[in-house]
Amino acid sequence: MATIEHAGHSYDVDEDGFLTKGMEEWNEGWVEYVKSLEGISDLTDEHWKVINALQDYYKKNGIAPMVRILSKTTGYPLKRIYELFPSGPGKGACKMAGLPKPTGCV
């Protein structure tokens, strides 16, 4: 476990850089911070659309959406999601949105 300081906020993160306390500790400063690690130069409305979709789904369902549900709700094909988040929806977008780390046989 480590603590990250960024723009006057501190965040608890695990080895993979996911927020240990999830959305509880999440704020826009976190997105700004993760951006640099995840190979994203400019945050656009499209990025926010994905982040918001993930957060809404997680709040409602308690899990991250399946990839094709994310594609359906945002209208972005997987290819676009990788253009927006080079590490992909799991490591990239979920991390930025403050969702828990994906688990299972990954």
Partner 1 sequence: MPKHDTPLLDELEKGPWPSFVSDLKRQAETKPECFDILGQVELSYKDRITHWKHGGIVGVFGYGGGIVGRYSDVPKQFPGVAHFHTVRIAQPSGMYYSTEKLRAICDLWQKYGSGMTNMHGSTGDMVLLGTTTPNLEPLFYELTHDLNQDLGGSGSNLRTPACCLGKSRCEWACYDTQALCHFLTNHYQDEIHRPAFPYKFKFKFSGCPNDCVAAIARSDFAVIGTWRDDIRIDQAAVKGYIKGEYPSNGGAHAGRDWGKFDIQKEVIDLCPTGCMWMEGDTLKIDNKECTRCMHCINVMPRALRPGLEQGATICIGAKAPILDGAQFATMTFPFVNIDAESEYEEVVEKIEKIWDWWMEVGKNRERVGETMQRVGLPTFLKVMEVEPIPQHVREPRSNPYIFWEESEVEGGWERDIREFRARHAQ
Question: Catalytic site residues?
Answer: 105
Q: Does 82 participate in binding partner 1 (rule CB under 8 A)?
A: yes
Strand partners, 4: 11
Q: Does 105 participate in binding partner 1 (rule CB under 8 A)?
A: yes
Show contacts with partner 1 in window 55-74 (CB under 8 A): 63, 66-68
Please state, in angstroms and rounded to a whole number, the distance separating the CA atoms of residues 11 and 103. Answer: 21
- Per-residue contact track with partner 1, 22 to 41, x per CB under 8 A? -----------------x--
Q: Does 1 participate in binding partner 1 (rule CB under 8 A)?
A: no
Please state, in angstroms and rounded to a whole number, the distance separating the CA atoms of residues 80 and 47. Answer: 10
Q: Does 18 participate in binding partner 1 (rule CB under 8 A)?
A: yes
Please state, in angstroms and rounded to a whole number, the distance separating the CA atoms of residues 60 and 7. Answer: 30
Please state, in angstroms and rounded to a whole number, the distance separating the CA atoms of residues 36 and 82. Answer: 16
Please state, in angstroms and rounded to a whole number, the distance separating the CA atoms of residues 7 and 91. Answer: 23
Q: What residues make contact with partner 1 under the rule CB under 8 A?
A: 15-16, 18, 39, 63, 66-68, 78-79, 82, 86-91, 95, 101-106
